[in-house]
Amino acid sequence: MDQFSRYPLSGIPVPFQYQIRNGDDSDAGVLRLMNKFNTEENGGHAKKRSAPNAGGADFDVKRARMVERSGLLSCQRDEGGPTPLFDIPFRFGLESGVSGADGSVSVCERRAVDDTRGGATAPQHGFQQLSSVNRVSSPVCSEDEGLVVSGAGGAAAAAAAAAASTAAGSDEGLPLSPVASPGRTPSEGVACAVIAEPRRSLQQDCLNAVAITAHSQLSPAAYKNLIFQLISRLNRSELSDLGTLVKDNLKRDFLSFLPAEIAVKILTNLDFEDISKCLAVNRTWNRLINNTPYLWRRLMVVEGFMSKDEYQKQCDVSKEDVDSAFRQKFLENRSNLKSWYSSEFKPHRTTLKGHSTSIVTCLQFEDDYIITGADDKVMRIYDAKTEEFVTQLSGHDGGVWALKYDKEGVVVSGSTDRSVRVWNIKKGKCTHLFRGHTSTVRCLDIVEHQGIKYIVTGSRDYTLRVWKLPSCRNENYNPDVCEVFNTTESNPYFVGVLRGHMDPVRTVSGHGNIVISGSYDHNLMIWDIAQMKCLYVLTGHTDRIYCTVYDHERKRCISASMDWTIRVWDLENIHKNGPCSMVNSFTNPCVKVAGSVLTLQGHTALVGLLRLSNKFLVSAAADGSLRGWDPDDFSRKFAYHHTNLSAITTFDVNDNVLVSGSEGQFNIYNLRTGRLVHSDLLSDADQIWLVKFNNRKLVAAVEKAGKSYVEILDFSRSATTEDETRRSDQDVSVVSSQDGSIR
């Protein structure tokens, strides 16, 4: 057998970290190690080595009988007898014997070996030669085939013997003395003498002493060199056993030793790719991860499947049955996201009839409701689950231009008829009618402060009005009766009027008691509806303001204007924005701020749309571009352009996906890679008016051939062949059914 095949590490050079380099003063330690080894061997074997001399011929006879009975070793006679030579090197090793029942082994006597004798020997590595060695321990025998180890502790004994022989220069050692050692005179005519070895316990003690001495006396470099040489003298099977032993004992299930709170804290800092790998580690980790709802709820936020506000609400009302559903919900969202990101995936598509006019002005997609409003004075309700038309809400005398959905099936609408209406979707009826504005209600929002929900409406009459949102849990609430309040004085839900703008109010947004309004007068106003007063007037834009966003987490206000810019105001430290001055007003004194803390530029036309997610602030403009910014430091993240450069009419965004629409173009972007994924899903639409989506479905209000439609794309299931055939058939007649779906 090839030497390197038998000893896999024999053919490689000594690694750098195991080499003894110049300047390493380890000779003294090596000498102490060798002396220790010799002392242990001589002291432990003294009595047994003296036995042949003490007993004479009787001892030889007894020894021979023991060998014959145990079958330990067949002594080979040397016909010519041992002839000492001075110029022949020696090889020492363990004989391939087997330990007997009493724990003793047979050992070959030291003898000369001719250079011409064949056979593989254990590999020799470059353990540095010592300048002087006082004495060399009596070596155990070596067969010509190499180092053979047997019996308990055989591998360790062989390794120690090999190291000792290497340190003494086994291949180029001292010649045999012509005078036989007094304590090792063999029986006449016998080449191999049987010498009783110490019992295993004594042998183990000796090896332990050698190991301790090596660790304490050798320098780190010499110690590592010795370890490498010992390992390099192991065959493939022994190396495999050693590797398994080391690998198994280096494993530590640290999570099992930590308190559950700390273990969960560690896991919450991992993303899903790492969590999925942890699930496969062992049953303990798998059970801990799967039975920790907090971890899956947090992953919903980290992976962009849930906003921070939604997360906080879930934490406040979390129940056991809700917590147990987070894991399944996360895995479903993760699967759906793969479909969003696959350009080959075609989602299931449902087309529903829209309004009688081609332009859709409002779209809400909340819970399982799809709600649209238009200039035809009605709102249409669709079921997002069944993807069917549900009902139509009629009552306004003008076009619906503002719409907001609240929980529990309540919708608030504002119209060109100057009224505000509250609707019950389940009943399909208007429950409250508020009058007070003197012009079109152009925008509205719903905020909650101290457990009370408020409706804030902005109008072309330059004012904002605040109303309490009627609760369906009120004991006087009757969904079958519409309460009409033609004046604010008689309306118990009316809170007050906010005055200050000098032109129509175009946009309003808020959170808690803070409301922000943007107007065509180029200014923003910050209101506290709890005190019904103006806090700040923010100036800086040079043209009409079309959109505002209140970042309540960072205490910032963001606005987009017709002057092509986006401005950011710091509401926590108002003086950072610029010079501040008091506006003296008898009814509503406030602080006027000249300038903003930051101005974002890049668009070359009216910036009419803004959206804020956990990771991105996105703006869209009439120049056909969308730009993304980091909401923390407002560094630029991305910029996309529609190919036809037509004005962006709508877009929606979360942390993973950006969807945008314009005239004849509808795009879906992967925000993790920045790549355009889909651009042909609604290629038959002439105009994309509005778009909303959640983790599973996308809803778009579109115009085709002068008519409006609602398109529903379901990314949890793929389009069927029948669907594709129907879409590609240009000659099929489209007939609207009674429920509003396309047949």
> Which residue ranges make up each domain of the chain?
3-9+44-250, 254-341
Q: Is 669's pLDDT higher than 70?
A: yes
Q: Can you tell me which residue has the tokens 């700390």?
A: 262
Kindly give, in sequence order, each residue whose CB lies less than 8 Å from that of residue 582, ignoring residues fewer than 6 positions away. Answer: 589, 590, 591, 592
pLDDT band at 26 (very low <50, low <70, confident <90, very high): low
The pLDDT of 684-705, averaged and rounded, is 95
Q: Can you tell me which residue has the tokens 């008898």?
A: 586
pLDDT band at 258 (very low <50, low <70, confident <90, very high): confident
Distance CA 444, CA 607 (A): 20
Q: Residue 157: what pLDDT?
A: 42
Percent of the chain with pLDDT over 70: 71
Q: Is 259's pLDDT higher than 50?
A: yes
Q: Is 503's pLDDT higher than 70?
A: yes
Q: Residue 250: what pLDDT?
A: 82
> Which pair of structure tokens corresponds to residue 248?
């198994």
Can you say whether the dihedral through the CA atoms of 541, 544, 546, 550 is positive or negative? positive
Q: Which of 25-34, 166-175, 520-529 tops mean pLDDT?
A: 520-529
Range 127-136 burial, b when 16+ CB lie within 10 A, else e: bbebeebeeb
Q: What is the DSSP string of 517-540?
A: EEETTS-EEEEETTTTEEEEEEE-
Q: Check if the beta carbon of residue 647 is closer than 8 Å to that of residue 624.
A: yes
The pLDDT of 436-465, averaged and rounded, is 96
Model confidence over 315-368: pLDDT tens digits? 665 555 556 688 888 999 999 999 999 999 999 999 999 999 999 999 999 989
CATH 3.40.50.880 fits 254-341, yes or no: no
Model confidence over 356-407: pLDDT tens digits? 999 999 999 998 999 999 999 999 999 999 999 999 999 999 999 999 999 8
Count helices and strands (H / E) in the chain.
14, 35
Q: Residue 495: what pLDDT?
A: 96
Q: Is 195's pLDDT higher than 70?
A: no
- Average pLDDT of every residue of the chain: 78
Q: Residue 43: what pLDDT?
A: 53
